[in-house]
Amino acid sequence: MNLRTDSSIAVVLPSPIGDSLIGLVLVNNLLRNGYRPVVFGWVAEQLADWLPHVTVAQPGAWQGAFDTVIELLPTGYASALSRSGKTLCLATLPEYRGSKHMVDRIVEVATKVFGLRDVTRANGLVVPAGVVKGRFANRVVIHPTGSHPEKMWGRAKFLSLARGLTYRHWQPSFLVAPAEFGAWGDISSEGCEVNALPRLGEVATWIAESSWFIGNDSGLGHLASCIGVPTLSLFMRRGLARSWRPGWGPGAVVLPLSVLPFGALRERMWQRLLTVRRVMAAFQMLHDKHARSQHHYVAADFADAKTRQAERIGMLPGAQSRRL
Most distant CA pair in the chain, distance: 65
User: pLDDT at position 50, please?
Assistant: 98
Residues of the chain short of pLDDT 70, as ranges, are 259-265, 295-324
Question: Pairing between strand 212-216 and 139-143?
Answer: parallel
Domains for the chain: give ranges and CATH numbers.
Answer: 9-113 (3.40.50.2000), 139-305 (3.40.50.2000)
pLDDT at position 260: 60
Across all residues in the chain, what is the average pLDDT? 89
Q: Residue 284 has what pLDDT?
A: 97
Quote the CA–CA distance of 116 and 24 in Å, as a whole number: 15
pLDDT in tens, 125-161: 999 999 999 999 999 999 999 888 889 999 999 999 9
Task: Give the list of residues 6+ apart from residue 300 with CB closer than 8 angstroms, or none.
Answer: none
Residue 73, class by beta-carbon neighbours within 10 Å (0-12 exposed, 13-18 middle, 19+ buried)?
middle
Q: What is the pTM of this model?
A: 0.89
Q: Are 32 and 2 in contact (CB under 8 A)?
A: no
